Every structure is written in C-alpha cells, then in structure tokens.
Structure 1
Amino acid sequence: MSITGRRWTMRRVRALIRHTGPTSLIFRRRLALMGGAILVGLAALLFARAADASSEAFDDIAGQWPWLPLLLTPLGFAGIAWITRRYAPFAGGSGIPQVIAATRLPEQIGGRLVDLRTALLKVALTLAGLLVGASVGREGPTVQISAAILARVHSVLQVPLRASVMVAGGAAGVAAAFNTPLAGISFAIEELASAYEQRMTLLVITAVIISGMVSLGLAGDYVYFGVVAAHLPLGSAMVVALFAGVLGGLSGGLFARLALAAA
C-alpha cells in the first residue's frame, strides 16, 4: 500500500471517529437516549412502589383512627397546595399539560416546564397527597418526571433538546410504570404529540423498550391493574358495548357542556 493510501485510510478513520466516536453528537445522542431510558424505567418503578406504599399507609391510618382523616386530609391538602404555589408553580396539575406545552417550544420553555427539581418535588407532593388520602393518579406525575429525566440527561451530555425527546420520555415512563409498552406508544401518539412525526417513531419505541426491559427485569411480568375474571358471550358483549358506548358518549358530551357553561 502506498503512503498516499495509508494517509487516506488514516484520514478516513479519524473522520469516522469524529463523526461517530465518543465525542461526537451522534454517540452522545444515542447514549443520552439509552441511559436516560434506563433511568426512566428505574424512576417509574420506584415511584409506583412508593405510591402504593403511601396509599397502603393511609389505609392503615384510617383503619386504626377512623376519625383522623377528617383532620389530616384537609390540612394535608392545604399544605400541599401552599408548597406547590410557593416553591413549584409548574408542578401543579397532572403534569401532562406541562409536557405537551414543553414539546411546542422545547428550547425556550421546555427546560422550565420539565425541570428535574420541579418534577422531583411533584413526585414528593404526589406521595404526600396519597399519604393524606388524596385521590391522585400517578400517570401524569410519571410522565412529567420521565420527560424531565430524559431532558436532564440530554442537557448533561450537551445534546440539543428536541420535542421528540420529551415525548419519548413520557411514553417510556408510562410503559415502565404500568408494564404496558403498547399503551406507552399509544399515549405518545394520542396525548403528547399533536402531529406524530415519523422520525419520532424509532426514538419513542427505543425508549419504551429499554425502560420496559428495566421494569420487567426488576419487577417481573406483573399485571398492575389486575385481571378481570368475568366474561360475557360475544353476542351479549356486543350489545353491552353498544349500549355503554352510546350512554358514555351522551353523558360525556353533557358533562362537557355543563363544565363549559359553568366556566
């Protein structure tokens, strides 16, 4: 091989290292996605366990002192509301609207709406709410904390924050917390991405698979919502589904009109 050939080969190797090596944007972007998805799976699973423990603790309190919730619950609600308004105004609500808004302008306001400190405080306040008897779901907080984790990992690795990153984070959190990979992908399409772009597909699916594998590896193939043993014949089920769909649509539309009128 000639000297010119060796020089060209070394030049190509150095260019390839710069393009895909450890310091390249491509490598850091992949590392941020995979590492962030692992952290999302761990955080979602820990949050799920902590939420169940908080709910069980309130049940124990109510069982031992039946009258205590009459004092504990309203005082707890007031304290949680005060802390939220005083220290973390972006932690109010379910957390899903914050992530949706952050996907619209990820560079401008995404960092504030899915800030890791705010999301951690939201988790703590959600657990406190469950501990005092609040009827709080953890889907929204899981979405916000998951998007915040993935966004922070991208920030640490100096990877530009895109809307698809927060969409993937929220979907991965739902998939890991409830052991529902398909639900995580559907949630990303229906709730977080108003216009689900094709380039998001690989990002979302990768994050969902990695976080789901972490959850399955630690908690096993569990069914979070339980199994319904009741069943109906196909003919009866079709009649019930039709009746329930019509009744649900009418009642939902009526409730929406009443809510808009009251507002």
Structure 2
Amino acid sequence: MKSLEKTLKSVSENPKYIFRLTIQGVMVGIFAGLMVCLYRFLLAGSEHVLRDYLSIINGNIIYIVLFFIALAIMGLLVDFLTKWEADSAGSGIPQIYAEVKGHMEANWTKVLISKIVSGVLTALGGLSLGPEGPSVQIGGMAGKGIAKLFKGSKTDELRLILVGSAVGITAAFNAPLAGVIFVFEEINHGFDKTLVFIALVSAIVSDFISKIIFGQHTILNFPVLNIPLESYWMLVVLGIIIGILGYVYNIGMIKSSDFVGKLKIPSWLKFVLVFVVSGVVALLIPEISDGGHFMMDMLGVAIPSLGVLVLLLVLKYLFSMFSFSSGAPGGIFLPILVLGAYIGAIFGSIVVPAFGWQHELIYKFIIISMAGFFASTVRSPITGIVLLAEMSGSTESLVAMVIVSLIAYVVPTLLGNEPIYESLYDRLLLKKNREFVKKPSKHVLSEYIVPLDCNYVNFKIKDIPFPKNAIVVSVIRNGKYVIPDEDFNIKYSDQIHVLTDVNDYPYVRQEIEKLFGG
C-alpha cells in the first residue's frame, strides 16, 4: 500500500514531491556528470597514449611485438569484463532502452565499473567505437544509483535513469538541450512534464561540471558561411544522397553484427582477434583508428583532397562495422557523426569549386551532413539538428539542416529500414533470451500521449482494450488532472497515466504503445 501511495503522488503536482525530485535531479546531474566526465577524460588520455606510442614504435620490432602482446591481453580483459557484466557489452543505448521498457534489470554498480574500464581498453586498442553510447548508459546507471539511494518508487527510478541518460549526451558533447531532446525523441518516446523539468535541471548541472573540466569552447570550431538561396535545391540532392548512405550504413552494421554473432568461436578468441586487427590498422592506417576525433581534427586543420576523403570515408565505415560487430563496449554515435562530416566534405569539395564559392563553404556542408546522417541512421532528426547547433555554437545552419535532415530521414524510412538503435534493441532482447524472474511487487506509473491518428480518439475508457492488469488512474487534459471513470472519453493529446505492477510492466507498455501507435 505504501508503494502505491508513493507512486500516486507522481500524478499530482505535489510541491514537496516536485522539490524532492528536483534535489534528486541535481544529485543525478552531479554524480552522472562526474562519471561521464571521468570516462571522457580517460578516453581522451587513452587515445593520446595510443597515438604517442604509435609514433615511437614504427620500425622497432621489439616495440611492435610488445604492442601486439598488450593488445591480446586487452582483448582478454574485455572478454572477462563483458562476461562479468553482460549488460556492459555493445553501445549502451539499447540497454537503457530495454531497461526503461522493463525488459532488463541491470546491476548499476557493475555496469559502471565494467563500462568505464572496458571502454578505456577499447580506446587504448584503437577500435573505431565512440564514447557517447557508453556515456548514455553510464549516465543512466548513475541515475539508477541515485534512485536506489532515495528508495523511491519504481516510476521515479525509471525517470532518473532517463535523466541520467540525458546527462550522458550533455557531458559528452557539452550539449544540454540535445541531451534532453534525445531522451524524449529516441528513448522515452513520450512527453512527461515532470521528466522534462528534472532532465533540464540535471543537464544544466552536468553541463556546468563538464565546462569546468573541459572548458567552454564548442566541440566544432568551423567557419560558417551561407549557401546562396538560389542554390538551396542542392540540399535536396544532398539529403537524398545521405538518406541512401544512411540506409547502407544501417544494413551493413546489422548484417555484420548478425554474421559475427553466428560464428562458432570462443568469445575470448574473438576479442583477441579484434584487438590484434585493430593494432594492424593503427600501424598501417592510423587516421581511422579510435572513435573519430583524429579524423575530425584533420578536417579542422585542412580539407584533404577528394580522393583521400573518399578513401578515409570507406575505410572508416568498414573499420567501424568491424569494430562494432565484435560486441566490444563502445558506441556508434561519434563514428556516425564523423562519417556524416566526411560525406559533407566530399559533397562540398565537388560543388564548391563547381560554383566558384569560397573554399570555407565546405565546412557548412560538413555541419549540415553530420545532422543529416544522424537523422538517416538514428532517425532522430530534432536531436541531430539541436546537437549540431550546440556543437558548432551557431544557429545559422538551422534551415539547411532541417531540409537535409528531413529528406535524409524520409529516404531510408521509405526503403523500409529500421532506425539503427531500434534494430540493435530488438537483437539485444533476442540475444538475451532471458528467463523471466519475478521481481518484488512494485507499482510503475507510465505515461502515454494520445496521438492525432489514434484509433481510439473519442472512445470511452471502458471501450478501449487496455491490458487487464493495467489501471488508468489519471488523465492530464489542457494542463489539468482528471480522475476518469469508465465512461470518460479519450481525446487527442490527452496524457494518460497507467498504473501496473513491475512484473507486468514490459507487457503492458508494449500493448499500450500498440494501442496508441507508440
């Protein structure tokens, strides 16, 4: 009964409840922000160590042998860590998605330790994996830790996991708005006023911490010029190209992951081979090693020739596909942005000389294409647009980014391609194939928004086939709470609060999302 009372408090604008959640949000911002900043600092240091070592071992057989021995040991350590905590493998974003949906119950302390340590090892090994996906999981697990500390309802725990996930993007990119939007557009797929407020509080706190540690400069410092309005038609061409390439990227990443998953080799041998191959790549083509910071820095210094750009784009894609398919802890967020940047650089290197424009206009296409490629692969265009605006510190490219992102979003969607993280989420659940373990009974309050095209608009609650183990406890309409009876008519944009047990939550959420087209 006490658990039920705690949960029901979250459907009323109780000042004490909101104040308590705000304090928790601040604590998540501090704890998750520090954890993600620590991870970001260690990864940057690892990449520098790798680059420095590569500069001194060239031609020295003893150093090269020691390098590959170290790589083999790192592969064994990553294998140990991913067995010790299986939920730390891979990107981290599908795992957060599964936890919020109720399909997983990760051990937050083990995930934090394993994800940070194994992530540092993959960076030292030079694998083409990004830090942002793991940062989302690290932030989410830090949020879960704060929730456990306060011993609140399961609803509050899920909220703080989402809040921590927003902190992950914020601290990784110095982009608080993009972090909050990413949670709603990509993970939660719904609108919760309380969650918005707490996420913004946490994002601002973590952004302040990140700026203290890493400085206030933006991630990208490219010059931003304007494309002549009469030439905006070429943005349509760019959007179509990016959409097709995003489709190819998603197909390749999923197919390669499925292929590696079917190989009948021990996991320890797989990781050793992956790290050894990564070492060969680092020696022969160091430009494509690590998540992509080096390739981005290359663009900031000078735009390489067209042939070099194409070669690096293809090799980076292939190496990213190879690295991610291994299941090593690491994300695809940064590699996606880097590939988008090189697509824009190639496009700009062709059209800018052809139209006689200033050479610096190529950087405009780089920024636009990063947002577009993110939209075509992740299928979260708003997040991509806001993220690039915050990363570049400029809103002058907003209209161009919107045009390219929308077209890049539509093309793979029309081709029947799923967003990359949803595909990875489906495979994560299939791979886990866990037996259901009954948890101690707790109440979970979930929120669903009635869309315009919902088949049950103007239906009475009693006529809507809600799962029988779920109760509609309140509805927010026009900003006001309503306690509905069974004859209450559901309207467009209603926010419906549904109460269920934690053991039924995964099934209930899945069924209600089908009802409302979630």
Q: TM-score, normalised by structure 1?
A: 0.78
2:57 to 58, 65, 68: 65
> Quick one: higher RCO (CA 8 Å, sep 6+), 1 or 2?
1
Q: What CA distance in whole angstroms lies between the structure 2 residues aligned with 1:136 and 1:260? A: 15
Residue number among 205, 211, 219 corresponding to 1:216 in the alignment:
211
What CA distance in whole angstroms lies between the structure 2 residues aligned with 1:136 and 1:76?
A: 19
Aligned AA for 1:61?
Answer: Y
Taking the aligned partners of 2:43 and 2:255, their CA distance within structure 1 comes to 35
- 1:260 Cα offset (Å): 6.6
Q: Which amino acid aligns with 2:142?
A: I
* Aligned-pair CA distance for 1:73: 7.5
1:163-242 → structure 2 map (5 Å cutoff): 163-224=158-219, 226-229=220-223, 231-235=225-229, 238-242=232-236
Instruction: State the match for 1:11 in structure 2.
Output: none
What pairs with 1:1-263 in structure 2 (closer than 5 Å)? Answer: 28-66=20-58, 68=64, 71=68, 75=72, 78-105=75-102, 109-110=104-105, 112=106, 115-162=108-155, 163-224=158-219, 226-229=220-223, 231-235=225-229, 238-256=232-250, 263=258
Once the two structures are superposed, residues 27-61 of structure 1 have per-residue CA deviations (whole angstroms, 9 ceiling, x without a partner) of 65433221121112222222211111100100011
* Preserved contact between residue 91 and residue 121 of structure 1 (Cα < 8 Å): yes
Looking at secondary structure, tell me which structure has more helix per residue: 1
SS of equivalent residue, structure 1 residue 227: coil
Q: Which amino acid aligns with 2:36?
A: A
Q: Kindly report structure 1 stretches of 4+ aligned residues shifted beyond 6 Å.
A: 258-262
Q: Decide whether the 8 Å contact of 1:175 with 1:211 is kept in 2.
A: yes
Q: Which amino acid aligns with 1:222?
A: H
Q: Kindly provide the amino acid, as one letter, of the partner of residue 169 in structure 1.
A: G
Distance change (3 Å), C-alpha of 1:76 and 1:231: farther
8 Å CA contact 1:151, 1:161 repeated in 2: no
Question: CA, structure 1 residues 87+223, in 2 after alignment: closer, same or farther (shift >3 Å)?
Answer: same
Distance 1:202 1:248, change over 3 A: same
Q: Does the CA contact (< 8 Å) of 1:29 and 1:159 recur in 2? A: no
Contact 1:28 1:157 in 2 (8 A): no
For structure 2, list consecutive stretches of 5 or more residues without a partner in the other structure.
1-13, 259-518
Q: 1:171 to 1:228 in 2, by over 3 A?
A: same
Is residue 74–residue 121 contact of structure 2 (8 Å, CA) maintained in 1?
A: no
Over aligned residues, Cα RMSD in angstroms?
A: 2.9
CA contact under 8 A between 2:33 and 2:167: conserved in structure 1?
yes
Amino acid at match of 2:56: Q
Q: Secondary structure at the match of 1:233?
A: coil
Q: Does the CA-based 8 Å contact 1:55-1:131 persist in structure 2?
A: yes
TM-aligned CA deviation for residue 214 of structure 1: 2.1
Report the AA paired with residue 86 of structure 1: K
Seen in structure 2, the aligned counterparts of structure 1 residues 218 and 200 have a Cα distance that, compared at 3 Å, is same
Q: Secondary structure of the equivalent of 2:232?
A: helix
For 1:10, the equivalent position in structure 2 comes to none
Please give the alpha-carbon distance, in whole angstroms, between the structure 2 residues aligned to 1:82 and 1:261.
22
* DSSP 3-state at the match of 1:242: helix
Whether the 8 Å CA contact 2:47–2:126 is kept in 1: the answer is yes
- Please identify which structure carries the higher strand content: 2
SS at 2:218's partner residue?
Answer: coil
User: Which range moves more in the overlay, 195-204 or 206-215?
Assistant: 195-204
- State which drifts further: 24-33 or 186-195: 24-33
Is the Cα contact below 8 Å between 1:28 and 1:159 reproduced in 2?
Answer: no
Q: In the aligned structure 1, how far is the partner of 2:148 from the partner of 2:205?
A: 20
1:140 is displaced (CA, Å) by: 1.1
Larger mean CA deviation between 170-179 and 159-168 belongs to 159-168
TM-score by length of 2: 0.42
Identity of aligned residues (%): 20
Shift of 1:80: 4.2
Change beyond 3 A, Cα 1:149–1:260:
closer
Structure 1 regions of 5+ residues with no counterpart?
Answer: 1-19
